[in-house]
Amino acid sequence: MLERCEELTRDTSLPSVRAWKERTGGVAIGFLPIYVPRELLHAQGVLPVGLMGGGEIEIIRGDAYYQSYICHLPRSTVELGLNGSLDCLDGMIFPAICDVIRNLSGMWQMMFPAKLVHYLDVPQDFDRSMGGRFYRHELGVLSQKLVEAGARPLDPDALRASIRTYNVHHGLVAELYELRRREPWRVPTAELYVMLRAGLVLPVEEHNGMLGEYLEAVRADESRRPMDQARVLLTGSFCEQPPLGLIKTLERAGCYIVDDDFVQVSRWFRHALPEDGDPVEALVEAFLDDAIPGPTRYVDEGEKGRDLIERVERAGAEGVLFCAPSFCDPALLDQPMGTAAATRAGIPWTAFKYSEDTGQFQVIREQAGTFADSIKLWSEVTTP
């Protein structure tokens, strides 16, 4: 199962999506990080397909669209679009993450005029009468565009059913994270990561089954035993994702990653959504009140970093890895507030950057290795 998940993560030509379309004839819509209301797409019969960039693919045409000081994800996404990898998609949703992604949505409209292209604007005012009204309207616009792209109209009962299905998914992902928090040796993050990535290109029902199977297997696997590693929280990797090799490197270097920012669409809400009542309102209210804080969501100035400290405490982490993509404005602009909060709280931290196609991990290995050593050996005062 893990091999298949890794293959689904690596294969940017989306074979599972192509197979789904052949089987069902349905509409498949791609979306970029971080969050889109997958329940809404699912309820209209659409397969939501999470795109996390091109990984290690060679960029030929994508580089022509962006300056060298722009992150890697948009240029690899352009490359995938232009080399035909995304032909199986009937459209794309670009959530409001940063200016680069906003610009990418405009470019996409020009490059692929025959396809659905939607920039999903989201509120930064979390008052119901303002942000709530705005977001409900945005969801309506999105739903209508999906219909125009061939999806069925939104039906409240279907949306409630989709919410139930995604609540199962939410629960399984939460279970996976909780098991890793408690027994990190049972759930290596490299495995958790490919499990989550596979979920981006599979129907949610199929992924729910895989998650359940994986949880059962690792709980029963007696060969997985604890090692003496430093428990760390990894933050900053919510959009462009690190290469799998980097995650493996961090774990081999002596770190147990016990919380992270990977594939946040699976954990965007803290709790399951209400399964009765107005289902659109359930999506709106959850977005306003229950979404996890992050750099792309407005947080009052004085409160920046507080969530990080709370996460460290909840996870029982001994240190923080600030692991952000190069040139990622949201992550890197928030980082000084995070590092300051960690320093104030006496939490050890270290910071490094990556690109989705980083292939050499030696420097990061040394940095993470010495960081883990410093936690294990010097986190308490020792008497000479």
Partner 1 sequence: MRAAAIMPAAVPDQLTAGIDVGSATVKVALMRVGDGCGEVLVEGRSERIRRREPEVVAAGLFDDVLGAAGVERKQLDYVATTGEGELVAFRTGHFYGMTTHARGARYLEPGADACIDVGALHARAILMDARAKVLGYRMTSQCASGSGQFLENISRYLGVTMGEIGTLSLKADVPEPCSSICAVLAETDVINMVSRGISTANILKGIHLSMAGRYVKLLNSAGAKHVVLVTGGLAADVGLMAALREHAAESGASFTIRGHEHSALAGAIGAALWGAFRARKIARLGVSLEEASAGA
Q: In angstroms, rounded to a whole number, what is the distance separating the alpha carbons of residues 55 and 17?
A: 18
Q: To the nearest whole angstrom, how small is the minimum distance from the Cβ of residue 321 to partner 1?
A: 15
Region binding partner 1 by CB under 8 A among candidate stretches 2-10, 194-202, 252-260, 319-327: 252-260
| 384 contacts partner 1 (rule: CB under 8 A) | yes
H or E, element range at 360: none
User: CB 368 → partner 1: shortest distance, Å?
Assistant: 9
Report how many residues bind partner 1 under the rule CB under 8 A.
Answer: 31
Half-sphere exposure of 348 (CA within 13 A, CB side): 18
Query: What one-character-per-residue DSSP string does 23-80 give?
Result: HH--EEEEE-SS---HHHHHHTTEEEEE----TTPPPSSGGGGS-TTS-HHHHHHHHH
What CA–CA distances, in Å, run from 65 to 41, 56, 62, 72, 186? 30, 18, 6, 11, 43
Question: Binding string to partner 1 for residues 253 to 292, with x set by CB under 8 A, is what?
Answer: xx-x-x----------------------------------
Contacting residue, 9, 76, 189, 229, with partner 1 by CB under 8 A: 229
Report, in Å, the least distance between residue 184 CB and partner 1: 6
CA pair distance 201, 269, nearest whole angstrom: 20
Options 18, 21, 252, 304; binder of partner 1; rule CB under 8 A: 252
Report if residue 366 touches partner 1, rule: CB under 8 A: yes
Sign of the C-alpha dihedral computed for residues 166, 171, 177 and 180 taken in this order: negative
Please report, as residue ranges, which positions from 311 to 340 form the binding site for partner 1 (by CB under 8 A). Answer: 315-318
* Window contacting partner 1 (CB under 8 A); options: 34-42, 155-163, 225-233, 321-329: 225-233
Site string for partner 1, 140-179 (x = CB under 8 A): ----------------------------------------
CA-wise closest residue to 97 among 25, 183, 32: 32
Q: How far is the CB of 187 from partner 1 (least distance, A)?
A: 12
Question: Amino acid identity of 100?
Answer: V
